[in-house]
Amino acid sequence: MRVTIDRQYQVKHACGEEIMKRLSFGLMIMLAACCAPLLERDAQAQAETRFNYGRLSLTMYLEWRLGYQSLPVRVVGAGGGKLGANEPFKILATALKNATAKNVTAVKVSYFIFKTRDLAEVMDKGETALIQIDLHANETRRVWIHVHNFEDSPLFKNTSGDEYRIEVAVTEVHYIDGTIWRGTELPQQIDPAKLPCILAQRRC
């Protein structure tokens, strides 16, 4: 009797497992059928909004701008890009120059985005939080300051095909004596006297 009961249990158990497998398989098919259109639409939307990073150029704040020589701390190295397909396009300051006779203890770094064909109108801008640094008087130093991710700019969703130039500048300086300089009027316009240099792509 026990053998018979065990066999009946095994048969019922096997049937139950088979039914569950079939139900699970059917459910997977239903989910795939439902989700496929959504995945296709999402992939299509990503393809339509994919940004061509070849439309970007990145540089230090232009020395051709009015008042450049009066900036106390200058970005003299800038770079950026993507380290991988799923990584953001990072805007970086890679070298700073202290053009003053006082030690600097902290800075804020800003980015300004222009259309390449119009370097007068700022399309987007922003600044970092206050960054601690020990930059001695008249010192130039390599740094690695993450200023911004371009994907966080509204221009990332612009599909017009416009090309953009990103300029990076120090816009706030804290000195060891407690004084603070703020570049509230940056960016300045291009110096008209420097236009020939710009057109010829050479230093003045």
Model pLDDT, residue 50: 75
Instruction: Give the E-state strand segments of the chain in sequence order.
Output: 56-60, 73-81, 90-98, 104-115, 118-127, 131-135, 140-149, 164-175, 180-182
Model pLDDT, residue 25: 53
79-126 tens-digit pLDDT: 999 988 889 999 999 999 999 999 999 999 999 999 999 999 999 999
Which residues does the chain have with pLDDT short of 50?
Answer: 1-6, 9, 11-15, 23, 27, 31, 36, 38-39, 41-48
Model pLDDT, residue 46: 46
β-strands 73-81, 104-115: how paired? unpaired
Strand partners for 74? 97
Q: From CA 58, how far away is CA 81, in angstroms rounded?
A: 9
Q: Does domain 56-200 have CATH number 2.60.40?
A: yes
Q: From CA 102, how far away is CA 177, in angstroms rounded?
A: 8
Q: From CA 146, how far away is CA 83, in angstroms rounded?
A: 14
Model pLDDT, residue 203: 66
Q: From CA 90, how far away is CA 78, in angstroms rounded?
A: 11
Which residues does 74 contact at the CB level (< 8 Å), separation at least 6? 60, 61, 68, 96, 97, 99, 169, 170
Model pLDDT, residue 39: 47
